[in-house]
Amino acid sequence: MDLHDRMRGVAALAALTRIAVAVYDQKTDLLRTFIHSSEGDAALTRYVARLSDVPSLAEIAQTGHPRVVDDISCYNGAREHSRRVIEGGFRSSYTLPLLNHGRLSGFLFFNSPEPGFFSPCILHQLWPYAQVAAYIATMELDRIHVIQAAVHTVIRISRERDDETGAHLDRMSRYARMIGECLAESHTLSDEFIEYLFQFAPLHDIGKVAVPDRILLKPGRLDAEETAEMQKHVDKGRSIIDMMSDSFGLDQVPHIEILRNVVSYHHESWDGSGYPHGLKGGEIPIEARITAVADVFDALTSTRPYKHAWSNQQACDFLQEMSGKKFYPPAVDALLNNPSMVEAIQKQFVETQFD
């Protein structure tokens, strides 16, 4: 965070060693670390909590007021959360809720290793920076959500007709996030990267909005001509993203490359047999390799106009068989090694008729 460097330059704020943003997911009540400025933040990386399990934060969210904790080690309000913060070497905190049109979108944390650091005098100096940081963080989260909402609206309107539901997007984006979390250590994927992957994965098939009904909804196998037409959804999707880039200033959105890659390369295969470019191995961006596994697993286990739902076992066998051919083996392993998380996601996001 550039802002953090500026603030460190202010002598009185030198002991302010961490600024972090946690994102709140309304649907699941989960809070996750997103952006943080401190180095070696291991104790707090990939930290996930249910908001209702952290009463101190829930209270901040409810009142809308920032809160100072002078010594976290004397403070029992958040248990696991507090323990993590202390493990990270921090003793005091200043926490602001990020509210977006009255709805909680996350929290902004300032931490210091010094107990009692956030005195009234420091808070006075910190105030303008805190406002700017809260504004930037809200804008950043908001921008992604606005784009996502716009895209989802387009998808919904254009496919009143289609069987693919919101539940598919909810599930596949969570499989993608789960795979990302498994690969984070070995592939040095940051929390920020994984959060964007989660936000953008549901847009992988945006190009299908431009595929004619007679093909998209065909209740049987596609012939060669129809398949070729169908496969154009990838390039069409890329054009839509490019168009949105121009008209919404999407190129300002951090990590927009993740979105572009997910849309452009989600049908490429590890062995080079995919489309539309026939990219191979490491030429395929990791976010697309992950999305491919998440998307196909959910497509297989769902009913489509052209197929019945497969059982998890059948879908897992297929992934296993195609590992190293169609799919990136570590991404397949991540999914196969976590059957209970897969089932939990399936249980949470069940197909409903009006989804």
Chain residues binding ligand SIN by CB under 6 A are 56-57, 69, 72, 77-78, 81-82, 85, 93, 95, 109, 111, 155, 164, 168-169, 205-206, 208-209
268 binds, among ligand SIN, Fe ion, ligand C2E, none (CB under 5 to 8 A by kind): none
Cβ atoms of residues 271 and 280 within 8 Å: yes
- Any catalytic annotation for residue 347? no
Residue 268 in the binding site for Fe ion (CB under 5 A): no
305 binds, among ligand C2E, ligand SIN, Fe ion, none (CB under 5 to 8 A by kind): ligand C2E
Q: Which of 91, 174, 255, 267 binds ligand C2E (CB under 6 A)?
A: 267
Within 295-354, which residues bind ligand C2E (CB under 6 A)? 295-296, 299-300, 304-307
Residue 278 in the binding site for ligand C2E (CB under 6 A): no
Residue 205 in the binding site for Fe ion (CB under 5 A): yes
Instruction: Find the shortest distance in angstroms from Cβ 307 to ligand C2E.
Output: 4
Within 207-266, which residues bind ligand C2E (CB under 6 A)? 218, 221-222, 230
Instruction: Find the shortest distance in angstroms from Cβ 221 to ligand C2E.
Output: 4
**What is the x/- site pattern for ligand C2E, positions 172-211, by CB under 6 A?**
----------------------------------------
Instruction: Find the shortest distance in angstroms from Cβ 250 to ligand C2E.
Output: 24
The strand pair at 103-112 and 92-100 is best described as: antiparallel
Nearer to Fe ion, 7 or 259 (CB): 259
Q: Active-site residues: which are they? A: 208
Kindly list the residues in this chain that would bind ligand C2E in the complex (CB under 6 A). Answer: 218, 221-222, 230, 267, 295-296, 299-300, 304-307
